[in-house]
Chains A and B, each alone.
Chain A
């Protein structure tokens, strides 16, 4: 019992570090680890993973907010999309063909992965012209980059398109029970042209809210097993604190190199779920 708890705890720390750096929930590590290594039922594993997304988000956001890496105004604007999207996803979940969804979102992710690969050498987005909505809402931001040792001022563009994509990423989260960080980061990085570090930090800040509504439901249904979720969440929380400290000292190109294989892997897994019998 003590050994198992310790093993779960160590895997959770790894998931927390990775999740904090990449702006994801870490569910991609937690769910397979719990089900395959420890034989824990999928419902319990998904519930534990959903609660742990909140831990990644909360733990990492403390550091990112202090460093001004998370853009609070962009996050509040886009959370309207993810929250209403998650609601719609939960409402229509029973009526849609899961296979078509997995295929569709898989193709979308593969395309994002390809675009990110093309931009892999770029440290910063360069000159970006803000759109009218971004100017009206004051979405532009700035942060101090420890690696470049310079203040980075950036603009945000295509704010409406970003909101629409967030709506669908929220719906995907509600429909398929996934953390939608893997959609949020490309939406901010490639569509809204935010610096990659600001994108992952803002995604990190946002995923806690998307996960909270899902986690409440798992709690009410009694899927949250304290003896499994407890060590997972504590581990992820500690891992996220470490990960956030590491991320601000990493080069953008390094973080991209970690993100690109993960997005390709997720895209392939989703497409596989769409076509497998």
Chain B
């Protein structure tokens, strides 16, 4: 399967799960106002947030499997920068 279709499938799954969790959370907040409702929204946002990071990771794995070392390295550089940015943000 070409890399475009693998990544499209990953992003579709991520956005569907996020959308369902968000819709449940928003509906529950508006209709019942229950205290647990916003947690569904937060869970949906976390899934959405993880999707692009997973996308770089999966792209890296696909390039690795195709023995495309240069592009595997590019994905690693992006992942390391993301990780450093997150750690930096927590400190600052």
Considering only CB atoms, which chain A residue lies closest to B70 in the complex? A137
Cβ 8 A contact of A65, one of B8, B18, B41, B52: B8
The reply to whether B48 and A66 form a contact with Cβ atoms under 8 Å apart is no
Considering only CB atoms, which chain A residue lies closest to B74 in the complex? A76
Give residues of chain B (66-86) contacting chain A, Cβ–Cβ below 8 Å.
Answer: 70-71, 74-75, 77-78, 81-82, 84-86
A1 with B30, Cβ < 8 A, contacts A90-B88, A209-B78, A212-B53 known: yes
A115 contact set on B, CB distance < 8 A? none
| Distance to closest chain B CB from A61 (angstroms) | 5
The answer to whether the Cβ of A5 comes within 8 Å of any Cβ in the partner chain is yes
A220 contact set on B, CB distance < 8 A? 89-90
Cβ 8 A contact of A72, one of B22, B38, B44, B59: B59
Cβ contacts A204-221/B at 8 Å (1 or 0 each):
000011011111110111
A54 with B51, Cβ < 8 A, contacts A72-B4, A226-B45 known: yes
The answer for the CA separation of A2 and B30 in the assembled complex, in Å, is: 6
The answer for the CA separation of A79 and B74 in the assembled complex, in Å, is: 8
| Distance to closest chain A CB from B36 (angstroms) | 12
The reply to whether A58 and B86 form a contact with Cβ atoms under 8 Å apart is no
Judged by DSSP, the binding face of B is helix
B4 contact set on A, CB distance < 8 A? 65-66, 68, 70, 72
The answer to whether the Cβ of B19 comes within 8 Å of any Cβ in the partner chain is yes
B15 contact set on A, CB distance < 8 A? 55, 58-59, 62, 237
Considering only CB atoms, which chain B residue lies closest to A241 in the complex? B15
The answer for the CA separation of A219 and B47 in the assembled complex, in Å, is: 13
The reply to whether A79 and B56 form a contact with Cβ atoms under 8 Å apart is yes
The reply to whether B11 and A65 form a contact with Cβ atoms under 8 Å apart is yes
The answer for the CA separation of A72 and B74 in the assembled complex, in Å, is: 12
The answer for the CA separation of A226 and B56 in the assembled complex, in Å, is: 26
| Distance to closest chain A CB from B20 (angstroms) | 10
The reply to whether A61 and B8 form a contact with Cβ atoms under 8 Å apart is yes
B49 contact set on A, CB distance < 8 A? 51, 54, 212, 215-216, 219
| Distance to closest chain A CB from B39 (angstroms) | 8
B3 contact set on A, CB distance < 8 A? 72
The answer for the CA separation of A5 and B37 in the assembled complex, in Å, is: 15
The answer for the CA separation of A213 and B83 in the assembled complex, in Å, is: 8
A61 with B11, Cβ < 8 A, contacts A86-B85, A209-B82, A233-B48 known: yes
| Distance to closest chain B CB from A241 (angstroms) | 8
Cβ 8 A contact of A73, one of B19, B56, B71: B71
The answer for the CA separation of A100 and B53 in the assembled complex, in Å, is: 32
The answer to whether the Cβ of A116 comes within 8 Å of any Cβ in the partner chain is no
What 5 new A-B contacts, CB under 8 Å, besides A54-B48, A65-B5, A212-B82?
Answer: A79-B74, A226-B41, A227-B41, A234-B19, A234-B22
24 contacting pairs across A/B (C-beta < 8 A): A5-B26, A51-B45, A54-B49, A58-B11, A61-B8, A62-B15, A65-B5, A66-B4, A73-B71, A77-B74, A79-B78, A80-B74, A84-B81, A90-B92, A208-B52, A209-B55, A212-B53, A216-B89, A217-B85, A220-B89, A231-B26, A233-B44, A233-B45, A234-B23
